[in-house]
Amino acid sequence: MATAPPPAPPPQSAAQAPPAPGPSAALLLVPLLAGCLVAVALGVYGGLHEPTRVGVLLAGFSSAPAAKAWTATGAIVFAGVQLLSALAIYGKLGTAPKWTGAVHRWSGRAAFLIAIPVAVHCLYALGFQSGDTRVLLHSLLGCLFFGVFTVKMLGLRIDRLPGWALPVLGGLAFTLLVGVWLLSSVWFFSTSGLTP
């Protein structure tokens, strides 16, 4: 005797659908690995590359170190704008105007684009150095900055990151950039003056 197949389950309504997965810090694993690879690759390249001692000289500057110090200072100014706009976006400075997001994105792009020639100068002309504590810290923080920046940029494309992830990564990138700037540009200005 044949038995009838069991009845099909009723279709689920939106109210019965399983909840969407919540935020997960595990989603940062791939960006973290990529950031570590970037930081290590920059350090290894800087350590293995024979420094050329030929710097990038921009028109209007008296020397390559002066160009690097002033250019890095420009990157810090844009990074400061990005920090303030991030604080506004997260409601820490009151209600943010609609254009705050655009200012945040464009100031970040400008800071990064200005930092690139400085990093190229450091890696190509000087390499990863450890001659004294200041220079070693500068080299380490520079590599770490680009690693953290990589993690943050990759993290921006992940929908379910915990709410703390991007502010922490952005704050860490800003802190590292300020550390690099203090150990290079501010040091240069304190030893050579505000020479353009």
Structure tokens, 161: 């990151």
pTM of the shown model:
0.84
Distances (CA, A) of 146 to 65, 108, 115: 21, 13, 10
Between CA 149 and CA 166 the distance in angstroms is 11
Q: 102-157: per-residue pLDDT in tens? A: 999 999 999 999 999 899 888 888 888 888 999 999 999 999 999 999 999 999 99
Whether the pLDDT of residue 3 is over 80: the answer is no
In the chain, DSSP assigns E strands to none
pLDDT at position 58 over 60: yes
pLDDT in tens, 7-47: 666 665 555 666 666 778 788 999 999 999 999 999 999 99
- pLDDT band, very low/low/confident/very high, at 176 (cuts 50, 70, 90): very high
Q: Are 54 and 190 in contact (CB under 8 A)?
A: no
Q: Is the dihedral of CA 101, 172, 38, 180 positive or negative?
A: positive
